[in-house]
Amino acid sequence: MHIYTRKVQYYETDKMNFVHHSNYIRWFEESRVDYLESIGLPFDKMEADGLLSPVLEMNCKYHRACTFGDTVDIAVAMTRFERLRFGFAYRVTDHARGTLLAEGSSMHCFMNAAGRPVALERSAPQLAERFAAVHIQDTAQWEQR
């Protein structure tokens, strides 16, 4: 599990001074990319090696609004890993108070540059082992929270 901290920017807010709902999805992506890089699985390296991971599904449940100037923590964990797919869970909390603001999930698949599904354990067994190890560790930590 990984915590990504960011400050809410003015351009991310709407007329009511709340963060627009679409930005939470962007924050999920920011936190996911940062997380994968921190564990040695950067998207740019995977893509350079011909492995793509498009989004198949994205979910977000909003609990409380945040506003310009707030700082948020986004917890992200790889909570699913299968032959062709992998998924993440996210929790956005207020950095100062720890209040839950939003939670969500995303599902991705492995695909080659030609757009065909890829079974990671066949095409990149060492990468599959790394994903599996991270998934086991993250799932255990996520369930404890």
Q: Give catalytic residues, as residue numbers.
A: 14
Evaluate whether 12 touches 81 at the Cβ level (below 8 Å).
no
Beta strands across the sheet bearing 71-81: 2-7, 71-81, 85-94, 100-109, 55-62
Measure the CA–CA gap between 65 and 73, rounded to whole angstroms.
Answer: 14
